[in-house]
Amino acid sequence: MSETAPTRREFLAASTASVFVPGLRAETRPNILWLSCEDLSPDLGCYGDTYAHTPNLDRLAREGALYRYAFSTYPVCAPSRSSIITAMWPASIGTHHMRSQGVPPPFVKCFTEYLRAAGYYCTNNVKTDYNFPAPLTAWDECSNRAHYRNRRKGQPFFAVFNNTVTHESQIRAEPAVFAKQTARLKPEERHDPAKAVLPPYYPDTPVVRRDWANYYDLITALDYWIGDWLKQLEEEGLAENTVVFFWSDHGRGLPRAKRWPYDSGCRVPLIIRWPGQIKPGTVREELVSLMDLGPTVLSIAGVEIPSWMQGRAFLGPQAAPPREYVFNARDRMDEAYDMMRAVRDRRYRYIRNYQACKPYAQYIDYMEQMPTMREMRRLNKEGKLVGPQRNFFLPEKPPEELYDTFEDPHEVNNLAGSPAHREVLERMRRVLDDFMKQSGDLGLIPEPELQERMRPGGVWQTTARPVIEPAGGRFRGPVEVRLSCPTEGASIAWTTEPGEKAHWELYARPIRLEQSARLRAKACRLGWHDSPEVEAEFHIGA
C-alpha cells in the first residue's frame, strides 16, 4: 500500500459529493435525531397523566406535535424493532417470534441504507435487537461511542440514542441499581405509591403500587435525559435544523401490558419537533404505526421511499393519506407459544385468538420475575382476585375480543358477543382477514417449519464474496472502482482503512480513487452471515 494513503475524509468527499436529491443542497437537509426508549406507554404529563412528572417531554410536545394514536406492531422489543428498521410487518418477513433470528426476503433492507446512500451520516447508540444481526451496512457507527459529532463537516445526520431506564428489568431492579437509575430525582419528584391510579385488571396491594410508582420514577429519570438532549442541541446550535423524534418500542413493562396486543402493550408515546414545519403545540389524532417511522424519515430527508415498504410516511413531501387501521400481534414470547392478531381503528380494537385453548397468563420465566406478576399469581391461587383481575388467569381465552376504547380504555369489557356491536365485529374481522392475506402473514406456519424454510438443515447461509473491478493494479491517474455481489439482495461495505476499527462505507455508486490505497470490501444480506473480506491494491501515479 502507498505510504500516502488517502484519509477517510478525502474518500467521503469523493463518494458522497453527488448523492443528494436534485434541488436539495446537503447543507439544507435537516438533521434527524431519534430519542428512543423502552417499555413505555403514553404515561406522560403531556398525554394528560396527572401522576407523571415529565416537564421536558411536556416541553417537547409544546414545541412540536404529540401523536395520540401511535402503536407498535408487536408488544415486545425484537419483533417491534424489526418492523421499525425495515418498515415491514414482522409476520411478513419471518421476524415475528421473539428473538427468532429471522431471514427477511432479499429485497428487504434496513431503511438507514437509503439515508447513507443519500449522504446522511447514520449512527446508533446503541440498540439494535432487530430479530436478525444488524448488518455492517446499516450504520456508519453502531456502538456506545457512536455520535453524530463524528460526521464530515456539513454532512447531515440521522442519529439514534436509546435509553433503557424504563425497561421492565429496571422496575424490579435491586435497590442499589434502582437508586442509581433515579439518582437525579428530587424528593418531591418521587411518586407516592398511595397516590397511584391502578388499571382495573391489577389487584390493589402495596406490592403492585410499589411497582407502579417505580415505573413512574423511571419515567421521570428518562425525562431528565430528554432535557439533557434538548439542552445539548441548543448549545451546539443544532436545534433549529434538527427534527427530533421521541418514541418507545412498545408499551409499559408490566403484566398484561408488555407482550399483549392491547393498548397497554402496543400504544406508545410519539412526539416530533420539526422547527418551521410543525406548528408548536400540535395534537395529531391520525393512526400511526411504528413501522411508519422509517419511511417518514426518508420523506423528511428527501429520499425516495422504496415501493416494497409496508410502512408509510406521515410527514414530509411523500406523506401518504392517514391510516384507517393499525395492526398488532403476539406470537412466541420467549419460551411460550401463542398466536394473536389484532386490528384497531380510532375507537375499536378487535383481537383474534388463534390458540384460544391456552390461558392468557402462560408462564414466561422473565415475566415471572416481576413482583406484580408474583403477587397476581399468589392472589389468584388464594381465590382473592376480583372482577377484571380474574380474566388474565382464565383457563382459556375467548376466540374473539372486541373493545370500545372510548368507553373502556383499559379493554376489560369484551363486546364480541354484543348484538349492538355485531356490525363493528364483522367489519373488523374482514379488515384483519384482508390484511393477513395481503401481507402474507406467516403466523400459521409452525416455527420449526418456518425456520427450515429460511435455513434448511439449520445452516446459516453466507453471503458471497463481493467482486472488485478492476481487481487492483497500477494506474497513471484516478481510477473508478465498481463493486458487485452475486448474492441476491446483498449490500456491500467498503473501506480503505486498516484493522478491525476501520470505518466501513456503504457502497452506493462507483468509488473514485485518486491516491494509492488498499480497498477492502464485504457483502451483507439480512439474516445471513457476512461474506469473507476481499481486498485489492491500487497504485496510482507515476
The Cα 156–Cα 386 span in angstroms is 56
CA distances from 40 to 43, 64, 148, 349, 361 (A): 7, 20, 26, 20, 21
Q: Is 77 a catalytic residue?
A: yes
SS3 69: strand
Of 501, 495, 528, nearest to 11 by C-alpha is: 495
Cβ–Cβ < 8 Å for 511, 480? yes
Helix (H) or strand (E) segment spanning residue 467: strand 467-469
Contact 90, 442 (CB under 8 A): no
Amino acid identity at 337: Y
Three-class DSSP category at 395: coil
Round to whole Å and give the CA distance between 31 and 54: 25
- Please count the residues of the chain: 542
Sequence-ordered list of residues with C-beta below 8 angstroms from that of 441, at least 6 positions apart, any chain: 89, 91, 92, 341, 435
Of the residues 37, 46, 77, 110, only one is catalytic, namely: 77
User: Which amino acid, 149?
Assistant: R
DSSP state letters, 490-537: -EEEEE---STTPPPEEP-S-EEE-S-EEEEEEEE-TTSBPPPPEEEE
Q: Following CA atoms 265, 331, 417, 348 in sequence, which dihedral angle do they give, to the nearest 10 degrees?
A: 40
25: number of Cβ within 10 Å: 9
Q: Give φ, ψ of 66 to 5 degrees.
A: -105, 125
Per the CB < 8 A criterion, the answer to whether 345 and 407 are in contact is: no
| Cα dist from 342 to 255, 261, 339, 403, 457, whole Å | 18, 7, 10, 11, 33
Quote the CA–CA distance of 24 and 30 in Å, as a whole number: 11
Alpha-carbon distance 529 to 122, whole Å? Answer: 22
Instruction: Give dist(CA 224, CA 75) in Å, integer.
Output: 25
Q: Could you tell me the sign of the dihedral formed by the alpha carbons of 276, 279, 281, 284, in that order?
A: negative
DSSP 252: -
The residues that are catalytic are: 77
